[in-house]
Copies of this chain bind each other. A is one copy, B any other.
């Protein structure tokens, strides 16, 4: 684990003092109440948190007052809301007065260090790309999610899980570089192990573009300071073989939702199993603490927060159906990334990575 001077970028002190998060209070399935409750949960634990809240001021003001957040919140009144069914292109054309637009713009102007929204993913991504612009050198931004795993950290990072349905080998290399930076800054993994998701671990497996991506990511490993473990399979996503799983947004989205569906089925079957007989109900009472511990490990609300990587600003997409616990997890993540000046670090990594890969390619004559 030799640490080059570049590692100092990540070792720099965190930004001291208050962090302002820009929060889109509208657009989630559970309404503004869940968002404000989530903010209150986080604010109670963290005195350094300040909020810029965007939405219907008349509806939000009493909620904020009730949550005793008046001195932590600045409110921006926005007459419009992006709904879950709005087409992203329409939002871009006509959405200037929406809470989502205002939320992203507060990051653009530098008033806030990161944005959080539970709204329409496609619209949030398109607004982020168009208003914040892509980081130089990034072709396709990506959404990174956290996945409960056997790793000591308890989570793995996977990207892209749905920003773009396509990714060519160069994009997959950039996902590796960006995922690596996110694992360092968001998950405190110093020397991330990167895996490329495929339908088998043998080097001859998969589509030709997968093998090309394998070669690119492998060649960049040393210069960009990560371990490349090669191809990984679906079964490795929650494993301790790897810290970052790289894939295209179509496959990543299917995998993420398959994992959610499987976990939810098992949770329900477990509940049924413990309600089956008086004896099993007694067992459930005795096992309550154990079961709660398990529940906490695999609770999707705790890993709530897809991070948009590759745009000039930190944007955290909370699950549309997030409750207060879920929103609070997304806020905690946004705070951490804001405090670390994540966007600039990631941009530095991508720039440096790209340059080093070019040099490497020149040297190896490819």
- Chain A residues engaging chain B, CB cutoff 8 angstroms: 87, 148-150, 162, 165-166, 197, 199-200, 204, 206-207, 233-239, 247, 249-251, 253-266, 268-270, 272-274, 276-277, 279-280, 282-287, 289-291, 293-294, 297-298
Contact = CB atoms under 8 A, between A and B. Distances in A.
B276 A293 contact: yes
Copies in the complex: 2
Contacts of A266: 263, 266, 294, 298
Please list the 5 inter-chain residue pairs (A to B) with the smallest Cβ-Cβ separation, ordered nearest first. A234-B257, A283-B287, A234-B258, A283-B286, A235-B261
B235 A166 contact: no
Q: Is the interface of A mostly helix, strand, loop or mixed?
A: helix
A324 to B, nearest CB: 22
A91 B282 CA distance: 56
Given A280-B289, A283-B283, A290-B277, A237 B251 contact: no
Contacts of A204: 87
A255 B286 CA distance: 35
B238 A262 contact: yes
Contacts of A260: 234-235
Given A250-B251, A265-B298, 10 more contacts: A149-B265, A233-B253, A235-B258, A235-B264, A238-B265, A251-B251, A270-B270, A273-B291, A279-B286, A283-B285
A199 B254 contact: yes
B270 A294 contact: yes
Contacts of A277: 289-290
Given A150-B265, A265-B238, A165 B258 contact: no
A239 B261 contact: yes
A207 B165 contact: yes
